């Protein structure tokens, strides 16, 4: 591989290019008219404008991106996350044009993109799944009987959904038929596929996912888990590795299950297998994400591996340079997603110019960032500014480092989720490790950030008063 085109923007485009550079591979950025001055464009060796600001006219335009690759002589495309990263048609088109897609084959993307096909594939292996139907529900009356047998509450999920999209909780049998009808028409409208299935609703689960790597020689390994339970409306807030509640034995079991899932779809490259864990620490396979995930840095830190470098090696046909037993877990890493959103205004995107933007630095702090001072946060894309990642020998140390890093991070001009991140890191439930996916809903009220603001204002006022009184004292001393 001599030249990689990165079909993405922001922090992940820079993240991928950083490793490419380290490996001596040239880089090509693509950008929309809104990203003309973006850091990812300047970071690349070459850059090609691919259209208007809306992603449907730029970062989602398959032909334009492939043309850009041909025009610049790139031999591979890395899709990052989001945009075209889990689009089987795109990966196929990349290959048909004689380019390497740095990711899994279209078959695996397609299979895991359909939650029912995924269930079907993993059924042949011994992987725990939530009780429910494993085919699309076509007879509503029959489905109601199954739901009653499973016991309410149950969840209706769209096969083409995922990541929380197209899910519906049904509390009691009498709501079942109407909810089912709604779920089907909603799934048709959103995904063009009305297939839905039902599952027992696990009421207070943790969301734990396992990183896997598969090469083209049949080697599949896992890189342990990430705990992603701290989320708000299916948007992850803070992730960590390892999970505070896994025992070495459970870690091994979940890791092995994840490897089986990868094998069930002939996986290639880096992927993530999502599990739910109930309050008895039973785990269940949920879905597989066939991309490099936002939160991959925490796994990199505890394993000492560069996931992008491994993705590139695998795409070139190299064998994994290690076996499962060679991979070790060291220390603890946390990642906070820093968004230009206002936590006091229901996390509305906060638009404006970054009048001041200074990143924290120091040992055990990594910032994967896509912005700089003076830039405007574009309204067209996800408003994530950066990922703030910290490390410690212990979980406590990583948390303390995160609070320190949040305090060091300076942003003026837009509101950010930094104060919200600090709230999470200081919360006793988070610190204890005893929390689930309802953490934010259960414990967070915006007023809590106001109290912190008030405390800071009080402190500032007292410092000012002290300075004033000290000055007056000095003046008196001089006068006499
Ligand atoms: C569930 C569940 C409870 N029971 N399935 C949401 C994202 C998608 N990957 C699956 N999700 C869930 N599936 C059963 N049978 C609860 C969730 C869920 C959730 C999962 C992971 C992280 C955050 C979540 C927030 C709400 C619901």
pLDDT in tens, 217-268: 999 999 999 999 999 999 999 999 999 999 999 999 999 999 999 999 999 9
pTM of the model: 0.94
pLDDT single digits (tens) 455-468? 888 999 999 999 99
Q: What CATH topology corresponds to 206-447?
A: D-amino Acid Aminotransferase; Chain A, domain 1 (3.30.470)
Average pLDDT, the chain: 96
Q: What pLDDT, on the 0 to 100 scale, is given for residue 205?
A: 97
The pLDDT of residue 480 is above 60: no
**Spatial distance between the Cα atoms of 422 and 407, rounded to a whole number of angstroms:** 9
Phi and psi angles of residue 454, each rounded to the nearest 5 degrees, phi first: -60, -45
Q: What pLDDT, on the 0 to 100 scale, is given for residue 165?
A: 79
**Hey, which CATH number is domain 3-102, 3.40.50.300, 3.90.1170.50, 3.40.50.620, 3.40.50.20?**
3.40.50.20
Q: DSSP assignment, residue 194?
A: -
Q: What CATH topology corresponds to 131-200?
A: Dna Ligase; domain 1 (3.30.1490)
Q: What pLDDT, on the 0 to 100 scale, is given for residue 479?
A: 61
Lowest mean per-residue pLDDT among 116-125, 322-331, 444-453 = 444-453
pLDDT single digits (tens) 329-339? 999 999 999 99
Q: What pLDDT, on the 0 to 100 scale, is given for residue 477?
A: 72
User: Which is the catalytic residue, given 206, 291, 337, 366?
Assistant: 291
Is 291 one of the annotated active-site residues of the chain? yes
The residue extents of the domains of the chain are: 3-102, 131-200, 206-447, 448-480
Count CA atoms within 13 Å of residue 465 on its CB side.
Answer: 6
The pLDDT of residue 206 is above 80: yes
pLDDT single digits (tens) 314-371? 999 999 999 999 999 999 999 999 999 999 999 999 999 999 999 999 999 999 999 9
Position 166 confidence tier, pLDDT thresholds 50, 70, 90: confident
> Measured between alpha carbons, how far is residue 39 from residues 11, 12, 30, 77, 260 in Å?
9, 11, 12, 19, 39
Q: DSSP assignment, residue 266?
A: T
Q: Omega into 242 within 30° of 0, i.e. cis?
A: yes
Atom 10 in ligand 1: residue holding the nearest Cα: 164
What distance in angstroms lies between residue 439's CA and the mean position of ligand 1's atoms?
13
What distance in angstroms lies between residue 228's CA and the mean position of ligand 1's atoms?
11
């Amino acid at each position: 591989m001599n030249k990689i085109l990165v079909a993405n923007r922001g922090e992940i485009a820079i993240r991928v290019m950083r490793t490419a550079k380290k490996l001596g591979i040239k880089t090509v950025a693509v950008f929309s008219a809104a990203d003309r001055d973006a850091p990812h464009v300047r970071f690349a060796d070459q850059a090609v404008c691919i259209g208007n600001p809306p992603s449907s006219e730029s970062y989602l335009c398959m032909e334009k991106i492939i043309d850009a690759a041909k025009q610049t002589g790139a031999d591979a495309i890395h899709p990052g996350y989001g945009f075209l990263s889990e689009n089987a048609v795109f990966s196929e088109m990349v290959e048909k044009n004689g380019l390497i897609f740095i990711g899994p084959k279209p078959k695996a993307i397609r299979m895991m993109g359909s939650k029912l096909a995924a269930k079907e594939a993993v059924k042949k292996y011994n992987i725990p799944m939530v009780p429910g139907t494993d085919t699309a529900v076509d007879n509503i009356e029959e489905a109601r009987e199954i739901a009653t047998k499973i016991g309410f509450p149950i969840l209706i999920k769209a096969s083409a959904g995922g990541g929380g999209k197209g899910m519906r909780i049904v509390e009691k049998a009498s709501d079942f038929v109407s909810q089912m009808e709604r779920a089907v028409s909603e799934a048709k409208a959103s995904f063009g596929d009305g297939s839905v299935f039902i599952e027992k609703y696990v009421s207070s689960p943790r969301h734990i996912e396992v990183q896997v790597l598969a090469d083209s020689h049949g080697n599949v390994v896992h890189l342990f888990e990430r705990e992603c339970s701290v989320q708000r409306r299916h948007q992850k807030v803070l992730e960590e590795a390892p999970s505070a509640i896994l025992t070495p034995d459970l870690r091994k079991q979940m890791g092995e299950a994840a490897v089986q899932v990868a094998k069930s779809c002939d996986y290639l490259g880096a992927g993530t297998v999502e599990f739910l864990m109930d309050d008895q620490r039973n785990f269940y396979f949920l879905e597989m994400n066939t991309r490099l995930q936002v939160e991959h840095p925490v796994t990199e830190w505890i394993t000492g591996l560069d996931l992008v470098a491994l993705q590139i090696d695998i795409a070139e046909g190299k064998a994994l340079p290690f076996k499962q037993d060679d991979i070790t877990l060291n220390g603890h890493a946390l990642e906070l997603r820093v968004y230009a959103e206002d936590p006091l205004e229901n996390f509305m995107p906060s638009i404006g110019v970054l009048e001041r933007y200074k990143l924290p630095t120091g040992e055990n702090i990594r910032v994967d960032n896509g912005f700089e001072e003076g830039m405007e946060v574009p309204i067209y894309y996800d408003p994530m500014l950066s990922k703030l990642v910290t490390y410690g020998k212990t979980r406590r140390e990583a948390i303390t480092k995160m609070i320190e890093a949040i305090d060091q991070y300076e942003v003026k001009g837009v509101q950010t989720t930094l104060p919200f991140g600090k709230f999470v890191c200081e919360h006793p439930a988070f610190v204890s490790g005893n929390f689930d996916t309802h953490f934010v809903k259960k414990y967070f009220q915006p007023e809590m950030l106001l109290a912190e603001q008030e405390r800071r204002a009080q402190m500032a006022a007292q410092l000012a008063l002290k300075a004033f009184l000290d000055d007056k004292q000095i003046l008196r001393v001089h006068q006499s």
